[in-house]
Amino acid sequence: MITKFTLRKLRRLLILIIGWWILTLSPTIANTDKLPLTETLLQERINHPVLSQGNLTIDLSSLQIDLSDSNADFRILFYQQLQNKINRSTQPIGLDFSNSLIRGNFNIQSLGLSTPLSEAALPQTLSPAEKEQLRQDKHFVADSKTAIPSITIFRGILNLNTTLITNELDFSNTFFLQRVEMTESKILQTANFNETRFGKKSIFSKVKFSQDVNFSYSTFWDNTEFNQSQFSTHARFNSATFQKNANFREAEFKKLVDLSRSQWLDTADFSQVYWYDRVLFTKSRFFSTVSFSNTTFEKGGSFRSCRFKQGVNFQDIKLLDKIDFGNATFEQDSSLNVAGLAFDSDSAELSGDTGILGRAIYLTKLKGNEAVIRNLVRNFRYSEQIADANLVEYKAKQLKLKELTDQVWQVPFKQLFSFRWIETFWSWILLSLLLFSSNYGTSFGLVLGNGVIIIAFFGCIFWFIDRWRKWIPYPILPNRYDIICMTSSVSFLIILGIFNVFRCSQRPWATLSLLAVLLLPISIMGLSILYIRGRYHNLLKTSYLLMDGSLRELRLLIVRLPILPEFAFFRDRYSPLLWEKHWNWLNYYDFSCNNFLKIGFNDIRLRDQFLPNVVSLFAWYQWSLGLLYIALLFWTLSRTIPGLNLLIYLK
């Protein structure tokens, strides 16, 4: 028994079926009222071409053209008549199929002029400009001794705007010397543009490709437009070459898109494109900017082994699966703008070679991109691309420093030294120190280079104030051997540290300026006080440094202070450094390393009798810097060693 509920469901199903049938077949129905193309009408149109936008054109617009197998006689006549008219003319003649319905397969080879691509075989009817176009083809053969490929030449403008083609479209291996227009056309079967050359502008805007599309090995010599086109099944653009601007804005790709090994010599615009399936750009070359802004990648894509010479715009894209930049190359002027990038699913991922992708990522501002930065850092840490995660954080902190700089130095005078300004100022100081000293904890090499410079600098300072006592009346000075050893060693170590700074730091001069601020003012002031006042005290001929001679081993002295202990039993083990020993100059580096890194081979400390205050100042100042340096060193290691990093940051 059929209930009312069942009838209601059947009625809704019937309405949906009728609606679907109207939507899918409406183009065919709408075109059935067009005037059929007959032999008489064809002959009339061929004999009376019209002038359209300054070009001689055969008008076949708003017609029903039956080229199906059931109308084979007319199809043969159609191709023969048009081919004879077009190819025998001394000037290019175009074809206008706009707003027409073409039933059956449409083959451009039967309309164009087939010719070998060689200098000797070029038709005499071609103009010098047309011959020059053909010579630009990479398959053009100037030497008649080699194998000569053939191609179909179509000289005139081809207009297929709002045209419905019910069967296959075959434009393969054709060189269009003039403009091709297919705006709002519909192709219900496959479209073959394999190895096609477009000499002038080609327009495929709002075209609906219902079946597979093949643009493999095609060349677009001028601007091309695929904006708002719909590709219902597989689309192939592999090994295609775009010499000028390529516009795919707002296009839709329902199935797999193969753009591998393609070349883009000018700008490429994929803005607001919706990729329902995977897209392959593997081994493609982008010689200018490429934009994917507001694009949706539903199944991800591959940019493996791609080469980018200029900017890549990933602004405001929606990522639902993995995008792979493995083995991709970003040249010096290229960058990857990820402002507004959204990871819209758990499987969304951005991956590439460690250190390459993070270096290429670019953000214009911090405000509004906080979520982007968090997602990118989480993405790279999950993929164990620690260097990329650190680079993203470093770039984010650079943007933060820029904001703080504006807040500190561009405030009105009346707001200076307010509580909020002081808080911002200290945040600016701390962030500057972290950025310039360690690239915000992302470069262990930079931290190590800074440490080498500081240890060498203070080692030289301690040697100088300990050995260079006075000139008159009786000199107490180091011998020539000590001077040569110390000056050469400190020069080598400082040059090594500076080299490491330039190798690792994003802003090496800022890093060196920071070191100069930390080291030079206090050193110059202390040395000036020490030598202007002079030193006249007991034990003037004895070293200020005492060494524990009971053990000689590598020691971790993290809790050791740079002063001599008070207990007499321990004091008996310490004796002054022996100046006459040739290896004595190494002890000053040992003391500097002990005092700074809290690690060394000997326990060397300052004596507490007849010690100038300036000498004590140098020791305690370096010891304090050492505490900060050790904290910075461990923090940097925790962010750069993968095991420690994952333990700290991953859930």
Share of the chain above pLDDT 70, in %: 89
| 268 SS3 class | strand
The pLDDT value recorded for residue 294 is 95
Predicted pLDDT at 25: 46
Quickly state the pLDDT bin for 3 (edges 50, 70, 90).
low
DSSP letter assigned to residue 414? G
Quote the pLDDT of residue 602.
Answer: 80
Note the pLDDT of residue 283. Answer: 96
How far is it, in rounded angstroms, from Cα 135 to Cα 126? 12
Q: What is the DSSP letter of 415?
A: G
Rounded Cα distance, 106 and 91, in Å: 24
Calculated CA dihedral for residues 161, 164, 170, 176, nearest 10 degrees:
-10
Q: What is the pLDDT of residue 561?
A: 75
pLDDT confidence tier of residue 385, bands split at 50, 70 and 90: confident
Weakest mean pLDDT among 61-75, 122-136, 510-524, 597-611: 597-611
Least Cα distance to 245 among 281, 209, 270, 272 occurs for: 270
Q: Residue 540: which pLDDT band, with cuts at 50, 70 and 90?
A: confident
Please tell me whether residue 253 adopts helix, strand or coil conformation: strand
Q: How many CA atoms lie within 13 A of 114 on its CB side?
A: 10
Structure tokens that stand for 160 in this block: 């297929």
**Residue 369 DSSP one-character state:** -
Q: Can you give the pLDDT at residue 6? A: 54
Cis peptide before 473 (omega within 30 of 0): yes
The C-alpha atoms of residue 442 and residue 501 are separated, in whole angstroms, by 13
Q: What is the CA radius of gyration of the chain?
A: 39
- For 352-377, write each residue's pLDDT tens digit: 988 899 899 988 888 888 999 999 99
Question: Which pLDDT does position 145 carry in this prediction?
Answer: 61
Q: Which of 21-25, 61-65, 591-595 has the lowest mean pLDDT?
A: 21-25
The pLDDT of 565-594, averaged and rounded, is 80
| Residue 55 scores a pLDDT above 70 | yes
At 436, which amino acid appears?
Answer: F
Buried/exposed 475-484: b ≥16 CB within 10 Å, e otherwise: eeebeeebee
For residue 78, the model assigns a pLDDT of: 94
Work out the percent of the chain whose per-residue pLDDT is above 90: 54
Task: Name the band, by pLDDT with cuts 50, 70 and 90, for residue 40.
Answer: very high
CB-CB neighbours of 54 under 10 Å: 7
Asked if the model's pLDDT at residue 151 lies above 80, the reply is yes
Would the pLDDT of 71 be above 80? yes
Q: For position 406, what pLDDT does the model report? A: 85
Q: SS3 for 324-365, per residue? A: EECCCEECCCCCEECCCCEECCCCCEEEECCCHHHHHEECCC
pLDDT of residue 183: 96
Instruction: Read off the pLDDT of residues 295-309 as tens digits, 9 standing for 90 and up.
Output: 999 998 999 999 999
* Per-residue pLDDT reduced to its tens digit, 99-141: 999 999 999 989 988 888 888 788 888 888 888 888 888 888 8
Give the pLDDT of residue 531. 84
C-alpha span between 452 and 488 (Å, rounded): 15
Widest distance between CA atoms in the chain: 128
> Please, which pLDDT band fits residue 599 given cuts at 50, 70 and 90?
confident
Rounded mean pLDDT of the chain?
87
Q: What is the pLDDT of residue 548?
A: 79
Q: What is the mean pLDDT of residues 193-211?
A: 95
